[in-house]
Structure 1
């Protein structure tokens, strides 16, 4: 049987499911167990790091080629380092060291995934230079990972692994057993009924802050999950902005729904009630996790936040799918949202728009459906006249300001709508038919 990484196509699905009260307790238990294992690795490695530095500095102060005797504290540090190294040497060691990690309700693969995620975090840190693994705090949102295994099967299907589909409404998961699901996808139904070889990889069980449970599965197969769409001989450039969510190079616009801004007042009132209940519970010396009124209001606030998130995600999913299906080439400007969020006047509106998520959706859907998606450097795209190539801010012309939504080219007298003109320039730059502005200036 092929490994997951060697399969030609990969696909991810997310389904909502409805666990029983007993299954909810098991989910919480596995979440706590994997968090404990992850935090144990973080804590013990930090202890070893600081202890080794202390001992190395102590030895460096000693005479060259001479080892000073260790005092009781330094001896204890050396013993701690040895004990931690022994415990962290093998993945099974930490499970053997703690009895509560060996109860039958805890999935051993959840603990193994916690260790694997810790090592992945360090690998990512070594690649990009920041993001050291930190402690995972308690949260009202739970999640843990397990894996689907095929111990005796020669071929992997959706219904013969340790995590499998029973029918269109039920899934069997390791330790949890059978759970009822909602939102079954036609793609999965066809593969299940037609018995198409499909391997289930990592399975993530998650509870959101508003008490909804979701199941995410990583699927792999040598047979494509979707068919490549026919060519449309259409190319388009899109300009993302705040007045309208996006403007296309063909002149059409999509309004900015501003989901967060519309719900901000209602959300603020709910959060004020939450703050009052939190303050009162603390004054009475009650634990917030057992304060019923506080938890009831926390759930109400979480549901409001989740509604905003789902509204935004639905818009981005529908819009990105429509753009990819109707055009062979989609060109957008490369936006660095992290830098743009430093502008305190626009940061809330930029976060509300979800530009980065939208560009990510366009990228993976273009690969999925066999289309092309490009991002280009946005330099000069809003300052250039697409008719004659004149760039505002150069050769004595005044640079356009942010409030200039319409303008007239001083050379060819073409009247432009700023966002539409930018979308046309973005498309031309993506097609490679726009000369470098420096070369135009020199010419």
Structure 2
């Protein structure tokens, strides 16, 4: 399964509708968890039936596409299954008892509730939430894949905007034509060096976090000064919080880009 991500552009009203859809998915997940806690032994089938009851009872759930509701139920079921697997395998420490979500950042659709444009540069969400058409901007080209290969579409909210992720069912064939060199090379990943091999080559650790630590601490102090304990937070606090989150997001992307960069040269120690 390949995941391609695009930046989503729309109007302020559309972003509000996306937030409403995210809150609805969080509501369904939390209600399913509560139903499981009150009725131990229920499985995925019973949770699906309970979600159908929620759609009949709450208008905000009915407005969300049925496949997105099912994805929220599956999200709760994964948390339950993970807890039981940890107990069965006797994982040391906490077993990860399912917790209620209070700040979800994504909503997931299956094969329905959305439609790509012919140019694959826009996506239209067709449920009653009213998200509508969003413009997509990214470096990937979805023309290489059929619509039937897209199994999931996920809208993700981050500190710098909204993103649309496509989960594509495509085999990884990058190594199919590679030939073996009949050589064995030992690789060690550490802190002093990012990577070192048994032939004497190394890749320096870029230390993106250490380089940005001073800016991060300054942004965190500014955010903390605007925090009011026990009172509603001001818009200035929310802006400072967003600036702090964006700086962390930049460091995270620097790390990801460095790790995924192909052909990183090795130099002798």
Which residue of 2 is the match for residue 206 of structure 1?
156
Which residue of 2 is the match for residue 100 of structure 1?
60
Is the CA contact 2:106–2:157 (under 8 Å) kept in the aligned structure 1?
yes
**Residues 117-196 of structure 1 aligned to structure 2 (within 5 Å):** 117-129=75-87, 130-138=95-103, 142-149=105-112, 162-175=114-127, 176-186=131-141, 188-191=142-145
In structure 1, stretches of 5+ residues that fail to align are 1-9, 53-85, 150-160, 327-418, 421-443
Q: Cα gap change, 1:225/1:246 in structure 2, threshold over 3 Å: closer, same or farther?
A: closer
Is the CA contact 1:30–1:107 (under 8 Å) kept in the aligned structure 2?
no
TM-score scaled by length of structure 1: 0.52
Secondary structure of 1:268 counterpart = helix
Q: For residues 61 and 67 of structure 2, what CA distance do their matches in structure 1 show?
A: 12
Shift of 1:257: 1.1
Q: Cα gap change, 1:108/1:132 in structure 2, threshold over 3 Å: closer, same or farther?
A: same
Task: Please list the CA deviations of residues 150-178 of structure 1 after superposition, one character each: whole Å capped at 9, or x if unmatched.
Answer: xxxxxxxxxxx943243143233343332
Alignment partner for residue 32 of structure 2, among 30, 38, 41? 41
Task: Please list the CA deviations of residues 356-410 of structure 1 after superposition, one character each: whole Å capped at 9, or x if unmatched.
Answer: xxxxxxxxxxxxxxxxxxxxxxxxxxxxxxxxxxxxxxxxxxxxxxxxxxxxxxx
**Residues 370-409 of structure 1 aligned to structure 2 (within 5 Å):** none
Which residue of 1 is the match for residue 92 of structure 2?
none
Is the CA contact 2:32–2:51 (under 8 Å) kept in the aligned structure 1?
no
Which residue of 1 is the match for residue 205 of structure 2?
256
Indicate the structure whose relative CO is greater, using CA pairs within 8 Å and at least 6 residues apart.
Answer: 2
Matched, 1:230 2:146: no
Is the CA contact 2:32–2:47 (under 8 Å) kept in the aligned structure 1?
no
Q: Cα gap change, 1:296/1:317 in structure 2, threshold over 3 Å: closer, same or farther?
A: same
Aligned residues: 252
Write out the 4+ residue segments of structure 1 that deviate beyond 4 Å after TM superposition: 86-89, 223-227
Q: For residues 196 and 175 of structure 2, what CA distance do their matches in structure 1 show?
A: 29
Secondary structure of 1:163 counterpart = strand
Is the CA contact 1:16–1:215 (under 8 Å) kept in the aligned structure 2?
yes
In structure 2, stretches of 5+ residues that fail to align are 88-94
Q: Cα gap change, 1:144/1:162 in structure 2, threshold over 3 Å: closer, same or farther?
A: closer
Task: Please list the CA deviations of residues 35-57 of structure 1 after superposition, one character each: whole Å capped at 9, or x if unmatched.
Answer: 111111222332445xx9xxxxx
Q: Cα gap change, 1:167/1:183 in structure 2, threshold over 3 Å: closer, same or farther?
A: same
RMSD: 2.9
**Residues 355-370 of structure 1 aligned to structure 2 (within 5 Å):** none
Is the CA contact 1:163–1:173 (under 8 Å) kept in the aligned structure 2?
yes
**Residues 405-424 of structure 1 aligned to structure 2 (within 5 Å):** none
TM-score scaled by length of structure 2: 0.82
Shift of 1:11: 2.2
